[in-house]
Amino acid sequence: MCDAVVPACTRCVNSGNAARCRYLIAPAKSTIKWLQNKIDGLEDQIQSMEHSIEAQMAKEARVPMKPLAHRARKAPASLPVSMGDPGGDWWKQEELPRRLRDQLVEIFLQHRWLCSLEISIPRLMASLELPPSHPDSTHPGLLDAMLLHACIQSPEFNHMQHLFLYRARKHLNKSLMYADRLFDFLMGSSLVAMYHYYTGNLLEGNSSLSGIMLFAMGMGLHQISSLKLASPESSFLPPPRDMVELGERINMFWMLYTNDIAGSLVAGMPLALSGKRITTVWPCPLQYYEDHRAYDVLHASFYPEDLQVARGYEINHCTLRAKAAVLLHEAYVLAARIESLGHVGDWIKRVHSISAGIMRHLKSLPPFPGKKEARDDHNAFCGLVLTICLSYMSCIQLHNIIAEEDLAARQHALSGAQGIANSLSKLRHMVDKGECSSALAAANAMSWIPAYKVFVREIGRLKKAGDLEGAAALQVDLDRLIHGMGGLEAVFPVAGVIKEGVPQD
């Protein structure tokens, strides 16, 4: 029997096991510390094994892609010493001054297209009027994340980014800890992740958004295969109360997925979720769910040859944008796979299949929207402009695979580059006239590099063939593209990161 003698009991000393003596009852502080160290060690082993498994899965199942940006900028995480606000220490309080809150919310809603966010504005504004303890009120973490994005777009409030980033993290941690308004947690956390992307902190943006995507899978948002008011069996969310709430969940998933695609391409990182696991229907503007037009939208398909033309494109920018993102990812993955093999081989059939899907999608797009569309529905206008550039970008990426030996593919790639140049030229003209925000031009930064490389390649080819007139014509397009790249990093820092990846003459 143990006599509890320290540092080792008599029984263990006599048996030669003094070094391994541990009390089973009434443990001393040294034993408790040993147990805690043992737990910590086991947790480290588990974490190491998980990372090894994930790395092996990524090596076996995913094809690495080259990043569009080659450097990430790390924003300082500390709070500013002084907020420089005449209102005093308001920022230390939980509840924000109403005037400041409302002003920043308005700025965020004007720029929500940057995140592909579709949210019921009337319901949001009503929830902001509820007491913080009300279960239907907007969670403080979501509100802070919205205000964080507003600070990016407003020079007046730009210095408050660190404050709202700190507040958002604190409140979102509490939301998860107490399982409080988890849909708000998901939306707020995704906005914080995208904030890191937009400010050039690519690696943190990618890791954060990947984690949030896995959380969304736990909610079953990737398996909303119908418009029935019921949650998937695997979800820990309650069933949606009405069609609008269901629409917000559908759009929330596609917001995450399309931004994960864009972020993974910029950072050169893998997606968190394979498209083969997605059964969620295509997204729609929330008006579609209110008047039941959403029933007319076809279900999602991840085979490009099955991507059907969306109806009502004038207002259904959501479906078009999601399809453009899916096609872009398909093109990049196929290009990376063929590059790793060193030859096209049997993959040529897949190239032609995706090409057919891209060309059909391009035909379904509306003309570049103008001043009237920007004025009537700014959110839809911005979504369509982004969709057009993403679609041309997928056309370039896919057809570049066989451009050297296929004249038709080379022409498709050049047409895509010209489409991007024309779109950005029109957009820059609208920005200069004050008809739309320069943030929209900066948000299309991803399309610059592929278009630039196509123009450089084709200009060189024409000069080598002696076609100086043709080369001069393409040089005009290239100059317009370069002009559209100037100065936008001041509005959208990640644009500067991407711009650095463009080769200079």
pLDDT given at position 429: 85
Which pLDDT band holds residue 435 (cuts at 50, 70, 90)?
Answer: confident
pLDDT given at position 211: 92
Beta-carbon count within 10 A of 191 CB: 26
Q: Specify burial of residue 41 (Cβ count, 10 A radius: 0-12, 13-18, 19+).
A: exposed
* Amino acid, res. 138: T
pLDDT given at position 311: 42
CA distances from 294 to 25, 130, 385 (A): 65, 30, 22
Give tens-digit pLDDT for 444-458: 777 888 999 999 999
Lowest mean pLDDT among 23-27, 179-183, 234-238: 23-27
Give tens-digit pLDDT for 340-365: 888 898 999 999 999 999 998 998 88
pLDDT given at position 117: 92
* Res. 335: pLDDT tops 50: yes
* Res. 75: pLDDT tops 80: no
More confident residue, 474 or 368: 474
Give tens-digit pLDDT for 110-166: 999 989 999 999 999 999 999 988 999 999 999 999 999 999 988 899 999 999 999
* Res. 74: pLDDT tops 50: no
pLDDT given at position 416: 97
More confident residue, 375 or 37: 375
Which pLDDT band holds residue 193 (cuts at 50, 70, 90)?
Answer: very high
Instruction: Say whether 496 sits in a helix, a strand or coil.
Output: helix
Q: Specify burial of residue 391 (Cβ count, 10 A radius: 0-12, 13-18, 19+).
A: buried
Which pLDDT band holds residue 68 (cuts at 50, 70, 90)?
Answer: low
* Res. 437: pLDDT tops 80: no
**Which is it for the CA torsion 374, 376, 382, 383, positive or negative?**
negative
State the Cα angle at 327 between 445 and 369, rounded to 5°: 55
* Res. 99: pLDDT tops 70: yes
Instruction: Find tokens 């895509």 and name the residue.
Output: 416
pLDDT given at position 148: 96
Both tokens assigned to 67:
């990043």
Instruction: Report, as an integer, the average pLDDT of 283-308.
Output: 71
pLDDT given at position 316: 81
Which pLDDT band holds residue 84 (cuts at 50, 70, 90)?
Answer: very low
The DSSP code sequence of 210-257 is: HHHHHHHHHTTGGG--S--S---TT--SPPPSSHHHHHHHHHHHHHHH
**Which is it for the CA torsion 419, 421, 426, 431, positive or negative?**
positive
Cis peptide before 7 (omega within 30 of 0): yes
Mean pLDDT rounded to a whole number for the chain: 80
Which pLDDT band holds residue 89 (cuts at 50, 70, 90)?
Answer: low
Which pLDDT band holds residue 96 (cuts at 50, 70, 90)?
Answer: confident
CA distances from 335 to 55, 391, 492 (A): 22, 16, 28
